């Protein structure tokens, strides 16, 4: 399986930096795993989009898009489940 590049938007990076250290490490590990499998079993497609997905990491969510042609995963939001979809 081909490896994907992972791009994190500035907004998602700021959200990632604001997480508690232990949660931040878990979320970062999950983001890194998207390099090898952009659609892990626990990922869910976001409603209303053909290319956007979410991955659950405890109470936190990673929202991202997959571009198959460019082999790119673009993380556009990271946050607590109560806030990330707003």
Q: Are 45 and 38 in contact (CB under 8 A)?
A: no
Q: What does the pLDDT average to over 39-55? A: 95
Share of the chain above pLDDT 90, in %: 94
Q: Are 81 and 61 in contact (CB under 8 A)?
A: yes
Q: What does the pLDDT average to over 8-30? A: 97
DSSP-assigned beta bridge partners for residue 60: 57, 80
Query: For residue 5, is pLDDT > 90?
Result: yes
Provide the residue ranges of all domains of the chain, joining segments of one domain with +. Answer: 5-80
Rounded to the nearest integer, the mean pLDDT of the chain is: 95
Stated pTM of the model:
0.94
- CATH number for region 5-80: 3.30.2310.20
Q: Which long-range contacts (CB under 8 A, 24 or more apart) does 14-23 make?
A: 15/77, 15/78, 15/79, 16/78, 19/60, 19/78, 23/57, 23/58, 23/60
């Amino acid at each position: 399986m081909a490896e994907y590049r992972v791009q994190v938007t500035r907004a998602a990076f700021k959200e990632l930096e604001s997480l508690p250290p232990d949660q931040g490490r878990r979320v970062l590990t999950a983001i890194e795993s998207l390099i090898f499998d952009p659609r892990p079993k626990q990922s869910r497609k976001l409603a209303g989009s053909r290319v956007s997905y979410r991955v659950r990491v405890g109470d936190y969510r990673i929202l991202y898009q997959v571009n198959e042609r460019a082999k790119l995963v673009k993380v556009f939001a990271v946050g607590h489940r109560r806030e990330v979809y707003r």
